[in-house]
């Protein structure tokens, strides 16, 4: 919710940004990442922050 509010109130070069991600989509990814962390004995944990940033970027766009 916080990230969505920040993005929805951001204007870059006169164009407003929009966040289209959902909590369920992030929750599904967390389940997948947790399983990968368990399977790799914690090694995948180093990539989780990068994956979160990637998910945020994929769900952010300019409004038309």
pLDDT tens digits along 30-50: 999 999 999 999 999 999 999
User: How confident is residue 13, by pLDDT bands cut at 50, 70 and 90?
Assistant: very high
pTM as predicted: 0.81
Contact between 28 and 34 under an 8 Å Cβ cutoff? The reply is no
Count of domains forming the chain: 1
Whether 3 shows a pLDDT value over 90: the answer reads no
Domain that holds residue 13: 2-62
Whether 62 shows a pLDDT value over 90: the answer reads yes
Q: Both tokens of residue 20?
A: 């289209």
Q: How far apart are CA 57 and CA 19, in angstroms?
A: 9
Question: pLDDT > 70: what percent of the chain?
Answer: 100
């Amino acid at each position: 919710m916080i990230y969505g509010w920040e993005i929805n109130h951001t204007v870059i070069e006169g164009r407003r940004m929009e966040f289209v991600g959902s909590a369920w989509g992030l929750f599904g990814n967390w389940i997948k990442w947790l399983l990968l962390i368990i399977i790799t004995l914690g090694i995948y944990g180093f990539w989780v922050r990068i994956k979160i940033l990637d998910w945020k970027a994929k769900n952010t766009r300019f409004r038309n």
